[in-house]
Amino acid sequence: MRSAPEPAARGATLAYTMPAAADVRFRTSDTIDVVMQMPMGGGEMKMQIGSAGTVRMTFVPAGEALEVHARYEEFSGRLSNPMMGDVRAGLAEVAGEFVFRLDRGGEVETLSGPTVVEKVVQILGSAEPFRGFFPPLPRRVVARGETWTDTIRVEESTDELEIRRESIVSSAWTSDTVVAGRMLRVIRGRAATTLSVLGSAEDAVFAQQLVGSENTTALWDPERKLIVDVMEGGELSGTVDIAAAGMSMPIRMTHRGRTRLLDR
């Protein structure tokens, strides 16, 4: 028998606690379209980055937080670059168990796991691929329409890349909806994002500086105590600078993605 969700009139607790089912599976997909304006009238160079996968997660209580064990069951990724050809990655490149700490607000801290290879970082944009599964929550009871704000800072480095990202996210529980007979909370977020990437390609050092906005719509299931669907999209723009060549090229990145629970 299903337990009754909290009445909306009293507000709702929005926090990551132990889910009703400890073992769940998610399907995730992501596409990034990149347009770069080449120097000296060289026209536009277009790149596309895409990935899709199925992830099994097991949640374990860990004091006030959760310890999550995650493993890809399926994965494919591709970065299409007309100047350097295609970069592809498959399940072998993300094999193994990732373990991370998830706090009540959705902050992810990696505890252990396989080393994410460079080409997967290029495709996913991160060496920590599970942050986007857990949009920020207020950790407390909120009323419908109430807004909360989070500042999310991420710094990562690999052999070839240094990535810094800051997002100031404003979120609100805006409404309820019914999907497959389940009442779900609709949470909408808007982020002002700054992204800085320092790296090298074919022995040339480059620096990217981008700013823009991103929008998220997430569905929270109060019975299963999980975000069951996350749809996100946004656009960042800025420059790519190659100091040794004296070049600064405008760049625009358009992103869309979705992560949804498979266990219904």
Secondary structure (DSSP) of 214-234? EEEEEEEETTTTEEEEEEEEE
47-100 confidence digits (pLDDT tens):
999 999 999 999 999 999 999 999 999 999 999 988 777 899 999 999 999 999
**77 falls within a domain:** yes
**200 falls within a domain:** yes
21: tokens are: 């089912």
**223 falls within a domain:** yes
What pLDDT is stored for residue 222 in this prediction?
95
Q: What is the SS3 assignment for 181?
A: coil
**38 falls within a domain:** yes
Cα–Cα distance for residue pair 199/83, rounded to 1 Å: 17
158-192 confidence digits (pLDDT tens):
888 899 999 999 999 999 999 999 999 999 999 99
Q: Which domain holds residue 172?
A: 10-261
Count the residues in the chain. 264
HSE, side-chain direction, 13 A CA sphere, residue 29: 0
Cα–Cα distance for residue pair 264/25, rounded to 1 Å: 10
What pLDDT is stored for residue 52 in this prediction?
98
Residue 8 predicted with pLDDT over 70: no
What pLDDT is stored for residue 130 in this prediction?
95
Q: What is the pTM of this model?
A: 0.89
Cα–Cα distance for residue pair 118/134, rounded to 1 Å: 24
**4 falls within a domain:** no
**2 falls within a domain:** no
CATH number of the domain bearing residue 206? 2.30.230
First vs last Cα of the chain: how many Å apart? 15
Cα–Cα distance for residue pair 164/99, rounded to 1 Å: 22
DSSP-H helix ranges across the chain: 118-124
Please report, as a single letter, which amino acid is at residue 201.
A
Instruction: Give the total number of structural domains in the chain.
Output: 1
DSSP letter, residue 52 = E
**218 falls within a domain:** yes
**5 falls within a domain:** no
203-262 confidence digits (pLDDT tens):
778 899 999 999 999 999 999 999 999 999 999 999 999 877 778 899 999 999 999 999
